[in-house]
Amino acid sequence: MNDRETLSTDVLVIGGGLAGTWAAIAAARKGAAVVLADKGYCGTSGVAATSGPGHWWVAPEQREAAIDKREALSRFGLAERKWMHRIMAETWEQLPTLEGYYGFHSEADGSKYYRGLRGPEYLRALRRQCVDLGVRILDQSPAVELLRHTDGAVAGARLYQRQAHRQLEVRAAGVILATGGTTFLSGLLGSHTNTGDGHLMAAELGAAFSGMEFSSLYCVAQAHTSITRTMIYTFADYFDADGRELDISFFEPHMDRRLAAELLKGPVYCSLRRVPEDIRRDLASISPNVPVSFARRGTDPYRERFEITLHAEGTIRGIGGICIVGAQCETGVPGLYATGDVATRERVAGAISGGGAINAAWALSSGCWSGRAVAQLAKTQGRRDREPVHGSARSGLGGAGRAQISAHEAVAAVQAEILPYDKNIFRTGPKLRDSLDQLERTWTALGAGIAGPDIQKNREAAALTATARWCYRAALDREESRGQQQRVDFPETNPAFASRLLVGGLEQLWTRLEKEAVHD
Amino acid sequence: MIEVILSDRCNACGLCVKACPMNVLDQVFNGTPEIARREDCQSCFMCELYCKEDAIYVAPDCDRRVAVDERQLRASGLLGQFRRDSGWDEWADTHENKHHLMEQVFARAAVAQAAFKHAVDEGKT
Ligand SMILES: Cc1cc2nc3c(=O)[nH]c(=O)nc-3n(C[C@H](O)[C@H](O)[C@H](O)COP(=O)(O)OP(=O)(O)OC[C@H]3O[C@@H](n4cnc5c(N)ncnc54)[C@H](O)[C@@H]3O)c2cc1C
Ligand code: SF4
Ligand code: SF4
């Protein structure tokens, strides 16, 4: 495209959700020039904007006990106490700085309630804080590839400004990936801008992944809706098609697996009859989208039974992502940092989901650490913006002459392997191998060329395919059950696997237990 | 999915076009935005929150179209409900954000569940 523009800055943040906005804020507070690009709109995009993240908010003297409690719950290792302490400390320090931007509730004793914030208000506050700090926000501007220097360091990114129909090259001293996890467009609320783009872009520069096998969680919603808000389902009673009550409670481990097993047999219905009156009255003021959805469907959830479904959480309330190699969320690629859900959360969550408190604290903290680190990098190393740079995308860029597949077809093919309950939840070696074969075919077809001119959709198709392959390859090679990864053919936890499992590669996939790597 | 934008309410401010995370809408010069890519809609209601005129109706159905009768819709009280209940814009003073209660709801449900389980174990239900 000839009307390509160029921009130069100290820090480029890709993704304007929870992690990206905190990264931009932290970098700007250090005096750096920051550009933040979001695929959608910074303020409504990402899974935090549509929900209401609670943070891991623990007073200093209670932190050891909080970690003990978490470790007793998980028992599966992979997390590190030091990192848990770090996110609790950062969160404790940062949330109150949004005073004046978010209407924090005052408790009866005069203290403020900081730990939980409603999504749209939270992201609006973060955006306003960014704007006040001079962050340049580029909305509707998906990054389509990273740029690299000849020595392999990241140099910036190429954006496609989809409402202006224009490409933009942003050069920066360092790049922070904050593109979120991915649900493979499952229908999970607010997740559809998150298509694994950051995963693919990082891999194209040589980054690896960790914990991708922990990607089999599902979340309940009323059938035909995306309202995966769990709070009200804590009171749910479930019934099969014959009206028999199912003995499934929100508070048991792997309740999504139990529901999935029932859904494989037939429809499942839910009643919220046990919700106390006062909570019914307050629901619209707590989570307004929940009663809005019921009302518009014409459902009275307290009196009638309604059909439910499960939406895949993928790597969002799963755990895996880009492998972190340093304390500031370095990826191993010089100048490239990974934050929030696009990064692995194993260090703070272990093998069970960090949704509910840990993930938000991680997104905030990892964002702040990397924001400060890149601001520092810009000071010490400078922008290098006169040096030549190269694009790094290899797949999903077109080549339509020999096209074998469209983006739409590729996404459908990926979803057919990664979304069905029987394949993703009830994992076995043969099923995973079959799915990997199918995904391999899709990847090869994409490599030959994609039909269609939409560069964003084409790259998304490639990213979803690549990410699905890493998830299933890791799931295949972790021949045990541990936390979220449950193998029907390996139901026991095996001490030989008490280590993080790295996975990577674009054409040729590889895996390696991290512990072995240390002994190399 | 987003079903309709009522053009008599819309003042063509373009905020919904800008704020839609999925880029579903196209700006029309001095006119009501066009629902250009409905198939991309993620049913997130965000456009409604950013529309001060309450001109947009998003159906919660994420995987199928639903028929909407504009006359009934106007009478239903559903337009603008999400923005009002969220306490946005002019509703800030009258519709308190009670998100802070969420944690207590989880805790109460856990207690209720434990009591229920105890009753089952004792053979009382
Ligand atoms: C329903 C729900 C409830 C949750 N509740 C909690 C909770 O109570 N406590 C908790 O700890 N966690 C919770 N979580 C998890 C928490 O919301 C996430 O961990 C957190 O939002 C991660 O932040 P993020 O910035 O990494 O991702 P997101 O907030 O999803 O943001 C990613 C951003 O990247 C953008 N993007 C994607 N691709 C590109 C691209 N190519 N170019 C530019 N931008 C791009 C997206 O548009 C999006 O804005 C919940 C999640 C869900 C789904
Ligand atoms: S936000 Fe509302 S008033 Fe503004 S253009 Fe969109 S529909 Fe029209
Ligand atoms: S519901 Fe969400 S995705 Fe759909 S048009 Fe509105 S803002 Fe866009």
Each residue's pLDDT tens digit, A460-512: 999 999 999 999 999 999 999 999 999 999 999 999 999 999 999 999 999 99
A26 and A102 in a single domain? The answer is: yes
pLDDT for A271 beyond 60? yes
Interface contact B17, partner A, CB < 8 A: yes
A354 and A434 in a single domain? The answer is: no
Provide the pairing of β-strand A269-271 with A306-312: antiparallel
Torsion of CA A348, A352, A354, A356, to 10 degrees: -140
Cα–Cα distance between A368 and B49 in angstroms, integer? 28
Contact B44 A226 (CB under 8 A): yes
Q: What is the pLDDT of residue A459?
A: 96
A205 and A274 in a single domain? The answer is: no
Please report how many Cα atoms fall inside a 13 Å half-sphere around the Cα of residue A18, on the Cβ side.
37
Report the number of distinct structural domains present in chain A: 3
Cα–Cα distance between A244 and A269 in angstroms, integer? 10
A9 and A95 in a single domain? The answer is: yes
User: Chain B: nearest CA to A255, how far in angstroms?
Assistant: 14
Q: What is the pLDDT of residue A2?
A: 44
- Ligand 3 center to residue A376 CA distance, Å? 38
Q: What is the pLDDT of residue A3?
A: 55
B2-92 — its CATH code? 3.30.70.20
Q: What angle do CA A225, A231, A237 make, to 5 degrees?
A: 80
Q: Pick the last residue of a domain from A260, A281, A312.
A: A312
The mean of the pLDDT values for chain A is 95
Which CA distances in Å does A213 have to A9, A66, A79, A425? 36, 26, 15, 11
- Assess if residue A518 is contained within a domain: no
User: Chain A: nearest CA to B114, how far in angstroms?
Assistant: 9
Q: What is the pLDDT of residue A219?
A: 97
A197 and A87 in a single domain? The answer is: yes
User: What tens-digit pLDDT sequence spans chain B (125 residues)?
Assistant: 999 999 999 999 999 999 999 999 999 999 999 999 999 999 999 999 999 999 999 999 999 999 999 999 999 999 999 999 999 999 999 999 999 999 999 999 999 988 877 766 666 54
Q: What is the pLDDT of residue B124?
A: 54
Nearest CA to A339 out of A23, A28, A7 is that of A23
Parent domain of A80: 4-213+315-391
Query: Residue A253's pLDDT band (boundaries 50, 70, 90)?
Result: confident
Percentage of chain A exceeding pLDDT 70: 97
Rounded to two decimals, the pTM is 0.97
Per-residue model confidence as pLDDT tens digits over A281-332: 999 999 999 999 999 999 999 999 999 999 999 999 999 999 999 999 999 9
Q: What is the pLDDT of residue A520?
A: 29
List the structure tokens of A343. 């990064």
A325 and A354 in a single domain? The answer is: yes
A386 and A426 in a single domain? The answer is: no
Residue nearest to atom 19 of ligand 1 (CA): A359
Q: Which of A120, A232, A295 sits opposite B49 (nearest CB)?
A: A120
Per-residue model confidence as pLDDT tens digits over A1-48: 445 689 999 999 999 999 999 999 999 999 999 999 999 999 999 999
Listed by number, the residues of chain A in 213-272 with a beta carbon closer than 8 Å to a beta carbon of chain B are: 222, 224-227, 231-232, 234-235, 249-251
Listed by number, the residues of chain A in 451-470 with a beta carbon closer than 8 Å to a beta carbon of chain B are: none
Q: Is A77 in the pocket of ligand 1 (CB under 6 A)?
A: no
Query: Residue A355's pLDDT band (boundaries 50, 70, 90)?
Result: confident
Per-residue model confidence as pLDDT tens digits over A38-82: 999 999 999 999 999 999 999 999 999 999 998 887 667 789 999
- Assess if residue A520 is contained within a domain: no
A9 and A127 in a single domain? The answer is: yes
A16 and A85 in a single domain? The answer is: yes
A377 and A409 in a single domain? The answer is: no
A379 and A257 in a single domain? The answer is: no
- Assess if residue A465 is contained within a domain: yes
Q: What is the pLDDT of residue A517?
A: 43
Query: Residue A516's pLDDT band (boundaries 50, 70, 90)?
Result: low
